[in-house]
């Protein structure tokens, strides 16, 4: 692990999921002390870091826990996604059945933990369960959907076949030729959810926002530097997901990919009979679509590899142009409806959908690389990592350790060139799935 990061996340105001300036969740006086002591410091206050902090405070009530983030909670990737809490996200046909089952069980653990937070603390995040459709348009998409369907049957996951006519009635587009409905998972306003979780941290957890860690001297004790503090902690957790490579952790295995979305203003007459819904393509380069609680239509597609995760080079504008094509293809009657926001966010992805979980040295742990389904999976793994750190058993802990480790990838510039060619090829093959 490098002592200094190669880059930091940068906030912007492109996303519609805004963090309110008048609802701070940090505890200011202590957080700005020059010298801080902690039993455990967690770097990264997204879903993984928050889940780890919440559970550690319960399992080790005498510990002092510091949770440090470079931005305000909700400004990073956890508050910039499309709001799909997926319990049946990816199907891996090459994986053993039990490994796929383990992923779903872990994701359902994360879903249950998030639901509990929402209900216990009455977090206003537009939580809605049901009406998720896995869809296909062309032959390539139908093959991918068929593999997913076979996988769900093998795992005993309940679903309903939906005809194109019924889907068009429910969601307001006749673009799709096949669909299946799963009434599991949830839709949320992601920044409100992650912010609400942060606002209800236990008293033994101190949240330090807008405090980028500029240096880590591995221990124990681990010594960290931020603009306002020098931290000395016996235990260290790195929960920075797509930014773990900035610290030299799994740099050749976990890649920061930028993904993009656009959203309309609230519609006076939103399409479809379902009050909220989401469309998930099984074709890898397909377009994710959602109707939100406030009657907006969200379109998400496009992916770019980022050696330095920066979105100021016109990539958002280029993605928005593609989103416009996807939107008008699905909703031609809404072609005159403009987008109110277009934005991007960084995920941690791997070549083989592997995950990083566990020890990275003496009294140091890491968790990340959730491959685009980090709300549920990141929450589950953060919670389980807390059990491991505290030495407390959990029935799902072994499943977490059985997740495949990310596979090696070649260094830059070969990697970047290969990824660009591969993504371009997949985009061409996807056709009207995009």
- Is 300 a domain residue? yes
Q: Kindly report, residue by residue over 147-158, the tens digit of the pLDDT.
A: 999 999 999 999
- Is 83 a domain residue? no
30 pLDDT higher than 60: no
- Is 6 a domain residue? no
- Is 325 a domain residue? yes
Q: What percent of the chain has pLDDT over 90?
A: 69
What contacts 24+ positions apart, CB below 8 Å, involve 92-98? 92/353, 93/147, 93/151, 95/404, 97/154, 97/155
The CATH number for 261's domain is: 3.30.9.10
407-422: average pLDDT: 74
374 CB burial (10 A radius; 0-12, 13-18, 19+): buried
Mean pLDDT of the chain: 89
pTM for the structure as a whole: 0.93
pLDDT of residue 29: 41
- Is 427 a domain residue? yes
With beta carbons less than 8 A apart as the criterion, state whether 22 and 350 touch: no
When mean pLDDT is compared across 97-111, 135-149, 382-396, 420-434, the lowest value belongs to 420-434
Higher pLDDT, 92 or 328: 328
How many structural domains comprise the chain?
A: 1
Q: Kindly report, residue by residue over 170-200, the tens digit of the pLDDT.
A: 999 999 999 999 988 999 999 999 999 999 9
20 pLDDT higher than 70: no
Q: Which residue has the tokens 């979980």?
A: 357
- Is 18 a domain residue? no
118-123: average pLDDT: 97
Range of the domain at 317: 129-185+255-349+414-433
pLDDT of residue 135: 97
382 pLDDT higher than 80: yes
| Per-residue confidence band for 2, with pLDDT thresholds at 50, 70 and 90 | very low
Higher pLDDT, 89 or 272: 272
Q: What's the number of CA atoms in the CB half-sphere (13 Å) around residue 137?
A: 21
Nearest to 217 by CA among 226, 229, 225: 225
């Amino acid at each position: 692990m490098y002592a200094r990061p190669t880059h930091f996340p940068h906030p912007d105001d492109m996303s519609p999921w805004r963090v309110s300036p008048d609802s701070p969740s940090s505890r200011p006086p202590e957080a700005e002390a020059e010298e801080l002591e902690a039993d455990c410091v967690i770097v990264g206050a997204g879903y993984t870091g928050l889940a780890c902090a919440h559970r550690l405070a319960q399992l080790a009530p005498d510990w002092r826990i510091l949770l440090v983030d470079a931005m305000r909670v909700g400004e990073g990737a956890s508050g910039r996604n499309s709001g799909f809490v997926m319990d049946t996200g990816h199907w891996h046909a090459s994986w053993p059945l039990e490994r796929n089952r383990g992923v779903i069980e872990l994701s359902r653990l994360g879903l249950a933990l998030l639901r509990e937070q929402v209900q216990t603390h009455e977090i206003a995040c537009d939580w809605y369960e049901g009406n998720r459709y896995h869809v296909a348009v062309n032959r390539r998409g139908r093959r991918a959907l068929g593999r997913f369907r076979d996988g769900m049957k093998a795992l005993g996951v309940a679903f309903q076949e939906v005809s194109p006519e019924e889907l068009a009635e429910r969601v307001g587009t006749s673009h799709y030729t096949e669909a299946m409905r799963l009434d599991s998972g949830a839709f949320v306003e992601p920044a409100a959810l992650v912010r609400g979780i942060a606002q209800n941290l236990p008293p033994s957890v101190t949240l330090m926002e807008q405090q980028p860690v500029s240096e880590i001297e591995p221990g124990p004790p681990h010594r960290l530097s931020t603009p306002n503090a020098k931290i000395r902690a016996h235990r260290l957790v790195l929960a920075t997901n797509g930014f773990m490579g900035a610290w030299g952790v799994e740099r050749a295995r976990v890649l920061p990919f930028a993904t993009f979305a656009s959203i309309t203003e609230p519609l006076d007459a939103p399409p479809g009979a379902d009050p909220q819904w989401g469309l998930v393509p099984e074709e890898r380069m397909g377009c994710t679509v959602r109707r939100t609680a406030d009657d907006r239509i969200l379109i998400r597609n496009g992916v770019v590899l980022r050696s330095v995760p920066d979105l100021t080079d016109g990539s958002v504008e280029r993605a928005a142009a593609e989103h416009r094509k996807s939107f008008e293809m699905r909703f031609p009657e809404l072609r005159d409806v403009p987008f109110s926001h277009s934005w991007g966010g960084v995920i941690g992805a791997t070549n083989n959908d592997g995950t990083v979980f566990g020890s990275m040295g003496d009294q140091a742990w890491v968790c990340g690389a959730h491959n685009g389904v980090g709300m549920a999976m990141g929450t589950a793994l953060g919670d389980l990592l807390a059990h491991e750190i505290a030495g407390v058993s959990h029935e799902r802990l072994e499943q977490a350790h059985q997740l495949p480790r990310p596979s090696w990838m070649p260094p830059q510039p070969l990697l970047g060139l290969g990824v660009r060619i591969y993504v371009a090829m997949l985009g061409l093959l996807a056709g009207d799935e995009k």
